[in-house]
Structure 1
Amino acid sequence: MSMQGCTQGRMRNRMNADMEKRFTPLMRLYHNEIPGLLQELYETPPLCRLADVGMHCGCDYSSFPMFRFQPMAEQAERYTRDLHSMGTALIVQHFTGDLKQSAAGLLHDIATPVFAHVVDFLKGDHVCQEATEEATEEMIGASSGIMEALRKYGIRVEEVSDYHRYPIADNPSPGLSADRLEYTLGNFYCRGRKSLEEIRLLYESLSCIQNEKGEPELAFASERAAEEFALGALENSRMYTADEDRYCMQYLADLLKKSLEWGVLQPEDLYGTEKRVIGLLQRDERSQRLWEEYRKLSRVCTTDQRPEGCYSVRVPSKLRWIDPLFRKNGGAVRISETSSRVKAEIEKLRSTDFDVWIYVPEGAEAAARFLQNM
């Protein structure tokens, strides 16, 4: 072997070792091995960037108690988009055995900007939160590493650029897909809501069946498992729709908007890493004050009337729930059709009142000065 070959081999071994330290206990549950294509894609710059794009849309940079999470792995302090993407890919691989579908699952978030759905808020897309799904195919084509790996395995860009085409990877809400399954289990884990053993039992009760549309979908083996999962997913949803979450995301959206107006950030910076964007924010006195203030936020209040003299927000949020199938009498049934508790909790979520003004009682003076009239 040439000296160059030896060096490349050592580099790959080192990358594999670093990648191994980022593997979460959940990944080891999802599938018993990581196919070579997924490993090679995971090591490309677009996927590496996602290691510094969080799953909680920047809320975990604040000091709200609900956004304190446990580490995901030895070198994964935060639950980030690369971990979610690999988890999604492994779930797809486990249930389909199809590398094209798995690769599409791995690549589905590569166009996610910093702070993720905060940029949806920035674009006014509070409810659907789909504005950040743009440019996936373009980013795949622009990556020499991704393109090289795809060519090596005989896969075309159009076969992996839209994971919506594969029902196990993604399907219309509120069905259960690999994407929704992974972020639900991931939040169970990082929030400490379920033990690894409880998550394992839920995961191992899943199989792939045909749903009412004749399409493949994941389904639980029992009503009990489906109910446990659905109720847990609804509890996660209460975090996504909480006053604290909406305040954080709108604050960050307004901070990014102002920073773009001030020239502190350029649009392309939003597709870098959160560490770099935070560093840029700290170079300007105004954005630095706003960021440092954001980091200290720990309590919100609500009122029916817009409060005077302070920064306040009144925004809706996407309602997320999952209504999984479970096997029954040779067929499959949605859990909401048999569980009155799940049905009631779904209706409770759907009736969430977003028509309130959210503000912090103290500690948002910079926001009052720079963001109040946005």
Structure 2
Amino acid sequence: MDNDNWLETLAQEGAYARDDTAFDTAGYHKILCPEFPDFLFDFVGLPLLQRLQGIGLLCGTDWTPLFHNRFYYSRLNHSVGTALIVWNFTHDRAQTVAALLHDVSSPTFSHVTDFRNGDALTQESTEALNIRMLADSEELLTLLEAHALDFDAVADYHMYSVADTAVPGLCADRLEYMYPSGAALNGIWSMDAIAANYAQVMLMKNKAGQLELGFRSEAAALEYTKKFCATSLILQRNEDKIAMQLMADVLSRAVECGFAKEDDFYTVSEQLLINRFDGFAEDDADPAFTRLYRTFRSMTAIEHTEEPLADAYCVSLNVKQRYVNPLVRIASGQAKRLSAISPEADECIKAFLAYKDSTCGCVRWQH
């Protein structure tokens, strides 16, 4: 690629072409909860939530042509959607606000920071910061007082099983993110399909006696589980591992070179950082940064190998496995895990858990 015109060439090739009208976020949120609760508007307007509009749900893959994401869906969109699901099924203000606030510590490019921190396997390295950021927000504390809500009741959504529960259970967080993720990454969900599937979701109790989201019908549970596994498989492949680790290295090098500060990842949007990095790469201000960044912004395919390749950026990683085995209401009215009643679901889940990509994923350097 011509060093002087690499950005122009990329634009002409449509590397980042996407239709942000392809997904009706407001319409989707109305499916999740037909009536948007008035009290939630005040909280959505908080600065620590509004900054999440500049952070994508899909962890930086919006900015590389290796992926063809169909639209942009933000962490704010996800947070609102999660809160709406909780409200729809509980009508509990504290649980709903806790769900809304669960991602305030997400940095730009989301879980890319976990890869920077060596936490690709659990991707939880920024979660401890969440409560500290909430406690430091005077605007939030004032709003909680105005709504007669205790800080401790909204500071940790892990307290509420409808909002968050252990894998393989289904919770609002997990249910919400996979609908738009599947729609964006592989077009696996249409709005009509989401509406029909979500209409089958209900509250149940699991074996531990905890409330958990599940499905009224085996067919709906199977559809969701199969599509969940299909989308999660994308996140297990070396393409995703390369995209996230390479962006992690871009961010680390940017900090080393003074092109960005750690605070920027909590104050500057992804778009503005990309614009800044485009300029540094175009000027070739640091050759190591330029090579990393141009490779991220230009790669369209990778090589799957068993050994690292010369003159290539290579990764060999184990990453978090995201899957569900939801509850289903059976004829007796009891709740059973889907895999216990559906051989097809059992096979699907086992196949996902057994999946291994090649030992290495490599992409040729863009010089």
Same fold by TM-score greater than 0.5: yes
Greater alpha carbon shift after TM alignment, 247-256 vs 28-37: 28-37
Match among 271, 274, 284 for residue 270 of structure 2: 274
Report what 1:244 is aligned to: 239
**2 CA distance for matches of 1:233 and 1:314?**
24
Other-structure match for 1:16: none
1:156-171 alignment, distance < 5 Å: 156-171=150-165
Alignment partners' CA distance in 1, 2:121 and 2:91: 34
Single out whichever of 127-136 and 32-41 deviates more from structure 2.
32-41
Checking the alignment, whether the CA contact within 8 Å between 1:41 and 1:145 is kept in structure 2 is no
Query: Which has the larger displacement, 184-193 or 28-37?
Result: 184-193
SS at match of 1:343: helix
Structure 1 residue 295: deviation in Å? 1.5
Shift of 1:194: 2.2
Amino acid at match of 1:226: A
Offset at residue 196 of structure 1 (A)? 1.4
SS for the counterpart of 1:24 is helix
2:89 pairs with 1:89:
no
Matched, 1:59 2:55: no
Match of 1:304 in 2: 306
Q: 1:24 to 1:70 in 2, by over 3 A?
A: farther
Whole-angstrom distance in 1 between the partners of 2:127 and 2:206: 26
Tell me by how many angstroms 1:263 deviates.
2.2
1:250-300 deviations in Å (ceiling 9; x for gaps): 101111111222222211112122123224434532335533331111100
**Superposed displacement of residue 354, structure 1:** 5.0
How far apart are 1:37 and its partner, in Å? Answer: 2.5
Decide whether the 8 Å contact of 1:101 with 1:166 is kept in 2: yes
Moved more, 218-227 or 270-279: 270-279
Aligned position for 2:319: 317
Name the residue aligned to 1:155.
149
Partner Cα distance (1:358, 1:216) in 2: 41
Partner of 2:366: 365
Deviating beyond 6 angstroms after TM superposition, the runs of 4 or more aligned structure 1 residues are none
In 2 relative to 1, CA 145–295 (structure 1 residues): closer, same or farther, beyond 3 Å?
A: same
Q: Is the 8 A contact 1:37 1:149 kept in 2?
A: no
- After superposition, give the CA deviation of every residue in 1:155-174 in whole Å (9 maximum; x if it has no partner): 12211111000000000111
SS in 2 for 1:132: coil
1:355 CA displacement = 5.7
The answer (yes or no) to whether the contact 1:116–1:132 under 8 Å persists in 2 is: no
Equivalent position of 2:351 in the other structure = 348
Q: How many matched pairs?
A: 336
Cα offset for 1:23? Answer: 4.5
User: Residues of 2 paired with 1:198 and 1:22: CA distance?
Assistant: 13
Structure 1 letter corresponding to 2:206: N
Distance in 2 (CA, whole Å) between partners of 1:188 and 1:33 is 25
289 and 308 in structure 1: CA distance in 2 versus 1, 3 angstrom threshold: closer
Q: How many Å separate the matches in 1 of 2:259 and 2:223?
A: 46
DSSP 3-state at the match of 2:239: helix
Distance 1:114 1:22, change over 3 A: farther
- Match for 2:68: what amino acid? R
Query: What is the percentage of aligned positions where both structures have the same residue?
Result: 32
CA RMSD of aligned residues (A): 1.8
**Counterpart AA for 2:227:** G
Work out whether residues 113 and 271 of structure 1, in 8 Å CA contact, stay in contact via their aligned partners in 2.
Answer: yes
> Please, which runs of 5 or more residues in structure 2 have no aligned partner?
1-22
- SS of match in other structure, 2:304: strand
Alignment of 1:1-374 (within 5 A): 23-64=25-66, 67-71=67-71, 78-190=72-184, 191-272=186-267, 273-284=269-280, 285-286=285-286, 287-288=289-290, 290-328=292-330, 329-354=332-357, 356-360=359-363, 362=364, 364-366=365-367
Q: Residue 188 of structure 1 aligns to which amino acid in structure 2?
A: G
Q: Structure 1 CA distance, aligned partners of 2:175 and 2:304?
A: 32
Q: 1:310 deviation in Å?
A: 2.2
Q: What TM-score results when the alignment is normalised by the length of structure 2?
A: 0.87
